[in-house]
Amino acid sequence: MDKITMFYIDKFKSLCEFTIPFPTSSDINFLCLIEKNGAGKSTILQAIDFAGQIFRGDISGWLRSRGWERRHLISQKNMRTITLKIEGFFGNKKILWKSSFSTTHLKCSNEKIYIDDEEVFSLSNDSYSINKGPAEKKIVKYEGSFLSVIEDSFLKKIELFDFVNFMKKVYSFDTLNSRQMRSRARPAGPDGNIGRGGELLAGRIASLKQGEIQELLNATKDFYPWIEDIYPDTLRGGWKELYFVESDHGCFRNVPSLHECDGVLRVVGILSELMTSDTFVVFDEIENGFNPEIMEKLVHVLVKSRKQIMVTTHNPVILNYIDENVAKESVLLVYRKNTGNTNIIRFFELPETSEKLSYLGPGEVFLDTDIDETLKNTGLL
């Protein structure tokens, strides 16, 4: 399975020399971030989405979609470069990508890629070389990574297609909310997703084949048995509006997404996203809109997913739905150091929490831990 095993970023907002500690077990693809408010969790989600956008290109459009300017990317006013390193296994090869991203030009001014520790691609100031061959000058306009404008056939030739294709499908749904999921949308196409806030959900479902819609319906009924059908209605101009058929003591009623409850919309949105070809997906505050029973089922679905999944939560109960062995590797504590920078650590690697885990559940350990005091005692602040 293709997956990221290391993510490093420096000088992106409050993230300085920041590395995400991914699980070392090959069968764990799930990460859960916990924090106190203001520690920088949202910035981590934005950084992951930023990395995916670098490979999709169009950084200008990405900034506009968030209401940002390029100056909002950097940690200090006098800085102009963001450093990124991503390593993982793609197409059964270990690949390491290193880059310096210029916030002035909105593109990677330097890139290097190593396959199984051997340098295979290098770019500096628009001159690039492959397998340490002679430098070539490529006059082409691009934003993000130079790899974002290279044709798939050439990427396959230099054995980088799997890596680049994976990175293009890295998304953070950090603004997902029921208001946007109620929106009308045009069909998203077979390779589309639900949109960062869920605004493309109706279009995404309209693009599903009949068997896929049935698969989505069956998965939804595991959470809400009274949902009998899900379908998009076609409006003027090709717009789609999502409808749900609910059963109530033998009676059936059609409910437009405008009047559907938040919990149903969020479940359908998340399940729909899990059916896409996206590779690494992030959901913020996963507990929003769900009661404990629904939340437990959803956590189990996410943990079992073959995608790489990252979620964030403020609810300690959710940790109790994660198997203890998974929790040890996948629950990450986000905190701010005294310098103001964001840092991250495996929560159950802290001596105090590791000891408590021997007699308490993961969520109970979180609830029973004074995070500031624990970090101070371990010298991490």
Which band of pLDDT confidence, cut at 50, 70 and 90, is reported for residue 179? Answer: very high
Instruction: State the DSSP string of 155-189.
Output: HHHTT-HHHHHHHHTEEEETT--HHHHTS-B----
3-state secondary structure of 371: helix
Return the pLDDT at 257: 95
3-state secondary structure of 124: strand
351-372 pLDDT, tens digit per residue, is 999 999 999 999 999 999 998 8
Per-residue pLDDT, averaged over 72-86, amounts to 89
The winner for highest mean pLDDT among 125-129, 174-178, 293-297 is 293-297
Q: Provide, rounded to the nearest whole percent, the portion of the chain with pLDDT above 70.
A: 98
Which band of pLDDT confidence, cut at 50, 70 and 90, is reported for residue 379? Answer: confident
Asked if residue 88 has pLDDT above 70, the reply is yes
Q: Beta partners for 6?
A: 87
Which residue, 350, 294, 346, is CA-closest to 318? 294
Return the pLDDT at 137: 67
Spell out the residues 6+ positions from residue 127 whose beta carbon is closer than 8 angstroms to its own.
135, 136, 137, 138
Asked if residue 28 has pLDDT above 70, the reply is yes
Contact indicator for 336, 39 with CB cutoff of 8 Å:
yes
Return the pLDDT at 130: 87
Asked if residue 55 has pLDDT above 70, the reply is yes
Asked if residue 139 has pLDDT above 70, the reply is no
Q: Beta partners for 351?
A: none
The helix or strand, by DSSP H or E, that contains position 88, with its residue range, turns out to be strand 81-90
Q: Beta partners for 254?
A: 245
Measured CA to CA, the distance from residue 90 to residue 159 in angstroms comes to: 10
Predicted structure pTM score: 0.94
Asked if residue 85 has pLDDT above 70, the reply is yes
Which band of pLDDT confidence, cut at 50, 70 and 90, is reported for residue 78? Answer: confident
Q: Provide, rounded to the nearest whole percent, the portion of the chain with pLDDT above 90.
A: 80
198-227 pLDDT, tens digit per residue, is 999 999 999 999 999 999 999 999 999 999
228-271 pLDDT, tens digit per residue, is 999 999 999 899 999 999 998 888 999 999 999 999 999 999 99
Return the pLDDT at 36: 81
Which residue, 204, 201, 202, 178, is CA-closest to 259? 178
303-335 pLDDT, tens digit per residue, is 999 999 999 999 999 999 999 999 999 999 999
Q: Provide the mean pLDDT of the chain.
A: 93
Return the pLDDT at 1: 87
